[in-house]
Structure 1
Amino acid sequence: MANQRIGYVRVSSLNQNPERQLDGIKLDKVFTDKASARNTNRPQLQAALNHIRSGDTLIVHSMDRLARNVEDMVKLVREMNDRGVSVNSLRRI
């Protein structure tokens, strides 16, 4: 299926509720990690990156859900953009 809207949700602890991050947003598929953003080696982030295709949009609640530091965030976004994938953060800085 082309031009999918893929959600990525990350919470740092098991106590946090991941449901609120993309609540009410129409998505074709959602990947959820319950892990620190210490690095980008998170199972569901990697699954999302393997799933997305050119024309798709990756949607996150905020960019800090994608990466903890600017270097990792820029690298991830650049790699996705190079593949023809858009990244959309619901929360503006």
Structure 2
Amino acid sequence: MSRLLLSVMGAFAEFERSLLKERQREGIAIAKKAGVYRGRRPSLKPDQANEIRLRVANGETRAGLAREFKISRETLYQYAPVKAENLVGN
């Protein structure tokens, strides 16, 4: 009996969560149409992103650049991705 009750409660929780996500998607769509929802602001300005790309091309370490610009290395890799010809073993 307790397993049945737990399963029913889990099903209701899952259903409520799907309704919540659907309402959230609808709200975001309405906000986008109104021009209110723009998403997250970029971490770097365009001139900073260009500077990072140039400095990576000149051989500076990505970790050092990430520390200097106060961004994560993952964010830096999004601005200056690793090219296939630079990978070792290719």
Give the shorter-chain TM-score range. under 0.3
Q: Which has the larger radius of gyration?
A: 2
Higher helix share: 2
Compute the TM-score of the two structures, normalised by the length of structure 2: 0.26
Higher relative contact order (CA 8 A, sep 6+): 1
Higher strand share: 1
Compute the TM-score of the two structures, normalised by the length of structure 1: 0.25
